[in-house]
């Protein structure tokens, strides 16, 4: 018994990372990618559909143009997302919907609101103010950088600019 244990010990400590990962892989359930894609498509689409309805509402009731209605539409979506976050519902939707609830503007609002709520306990300045952009910060940074690069490409190729 102890002999076999002796042998076994060395086999465990000598096992390479790749060998181990092959054993572990057998027992790890993989992410349900197809199901996630379908759900993301449905929920993402639904959020956009709701957005469209809100926009149509502003256009018909307040007589706004498409462009004018855009900002209040986004604001309403953000408010809905923040309310759902505060009631502890948005994260539950997200577990089901995956990217469907993360990609639209509501996901961005959720990332800021959840961080602000979480770090309220560290005060307004060091907590809410400083930590609110913990997750949204990189979206803003890389979104701006990407927009800058695309803008330059656009200008260089000559089909952008003030047109």
**Which residues in this chain contact another protein in the complex, by CB under 8 A?**
1-2, 4-9, 11-13, 15, 17-18, 20-21, 23-24, 26-32, 36, 85-86, 88, 90-91, 93-95, 97-99, 101-102, 107, 110-111, 113-115, 117-119, 121, 134-135
> Cβ 142 to another protein, closest distance in Å?
17
> Cβ 45 to another protein, closest distance in Å?
17
Contact between residue 150 and residue 125 where contact means Cβ atoms under 8 Å apart: no
Nearer residue to another protein within complex by CB, 73 or 111: 111
> Cβ 69 to another protein, closest distance in Å?
26
Residue 61 tokens, joined: 């009731």
> Cβ 34 to another protein, closest distance in Å?
14
Nearer residue to another protein within complex by CB, 54 or 94: 94
């Amino acid at each position: 018994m102890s002999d076999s244990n002796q042998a076994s010990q060395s086999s465990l400590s000598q096992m390479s990372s790749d060998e181990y990962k092959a054993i572990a892989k057998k027992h790890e359930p993989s992410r349900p990618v197809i199901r996630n894609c379908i759900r993301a498509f449905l929920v993402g689409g639904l959020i956009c559909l709701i957005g469209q309805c809100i926009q149509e509402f502003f256009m018909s009731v307040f007589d706004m143009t498409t462009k004018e209605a855009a900002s209040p539409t986004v604001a309403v979506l953000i408010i809905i997302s923040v309310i759902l976050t505060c009631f502890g519902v948005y994260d539950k939707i997200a577990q089901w919907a995956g990217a469907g609830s993360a990609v639209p503007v509501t996901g961005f609002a959720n990332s800021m609101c959840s961080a602000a709520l979480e770090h309220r306990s560290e005060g307004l300045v060091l907590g809410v103010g400083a930590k609110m952009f913990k997750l949204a910060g990189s979206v803003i940074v890389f979104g701006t950088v990407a927009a800058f690069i695309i803008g330059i490409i656009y200008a260089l190729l000559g089909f952008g600019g003030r047109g």
